Amino acid sequence: MLPEGALMVLGAFAAMFTQPVWAHVQALVTGAILCQGPRTVAGVLRVLGFSDGKGFCKHHRVLSRAGWPGLQGSRILLGLLVVVAAGAGFPLVVLVDETLERRKGRKIKAKGC
């Protein structure tokens, strides 16, 4: 479904999903790329021609019921971003905000970072 370059990048996330769910994820990503307008699951499946298919609800379950390891996904994404930034020669700047609440006032430093 997807071009080889996109599958290489997306393939890094394959370990997060079971094999049946991974097939649905690839279809949803392909449809999201092709979809014009709101990228709802129904809109994505219409673009792919799956709107009348029997497995329509299975694609919805990928987003509503499938448990995804968020920490594993964030590690994979960070690794990909670091490889791309380093390969292109861009400097890597990491900003950390330790606050948990919103703060206001004239004395707050670096409030716009």
Q: State the burial class of residue 39 (Cβ atoms within 10 Å of its Cβ: 0-12, 13-18, 19+).
A: middle
Predicted TM-score (pTM) of the model is: 0.66
Q: Is 105 left (phi over 0), alpha (psi -120 to 50) or beta?
A: left
Locate 19 and state its tokens: 């094999």
Taking the C-alpha atoms of residue 101 and residue 113, their distance in angstroms, rounded to an integer, is 15
What pLDDT score does 90 carry? 85
What pLDDT score does 75 carry? 92
Position 111 pLDDT exceeds 60 = no
